[in-house]
Amino acid sequence: MARIFYDCEFIEDGTTIELVSLGAVDEAGREFYAVSRQFDAMRAGPWVRKNVLDKLPSSSDPVWRSRLQIREDFFAFVTAGDGEVELWAWNAPYDHVVIAQLWGAMPDLPRALPRFTRDLRQRWDDVGRPALPAAPDDAHDALADARHNLRKWEVIDARWHELGMADVEGRAGRH
């Protein structure tokens, strides 16, 4: 089972969620980072402007890509290995919608892409909320947050095993 930990930064107004950036890492150390050339910065609220937009690399950096290129590159990143893939994010629902919208409607997602993202925040609750690593100085940079999600997973998974919960899920073939 390959696990990919990711984070999306986005602009949302209660109706629309618009991708700004996407960062992902896997347990083998591979990383993916992209910034969309197609978001409307004028729609960003003060918090997003200060905490997200101000941290983006220069628009001349090659990480800036079209949504189509992000979709293709992220799909290649996710499907690079053999076997099943799990996507993991902290407070995952919005992140998953942002990813799914790269393909349009949910039925347009390729079969190789998971239909949901597992929620680190929920798993953290399940294991009794152990102390997690402090947020990085560059928090709200999608790649920094994806890396931090992997570090959080390591703490959460260790606690999961301490509690013997791996045996319970092991019967279902995963943990």
Nearest in space to 160 (alpha carbons), one of 58, 88, 57, 65: 88
Residue 7 annotated as lining a ligand binding site:
yes
Enter the tokens of residue 68. Answer: 């189509």
**Burial of 133 from C-beta contacts in 10 A (0-12 / 13-18 / 19+):** exposed
Number of H helices, E strands in the chain: 6, 6
Q: Tell me the chain's radius of gyration from C-alpha atoms.
A: 16
Binding residues for Mg(2+): 7
Binding-site annotation: residue ranges: 7
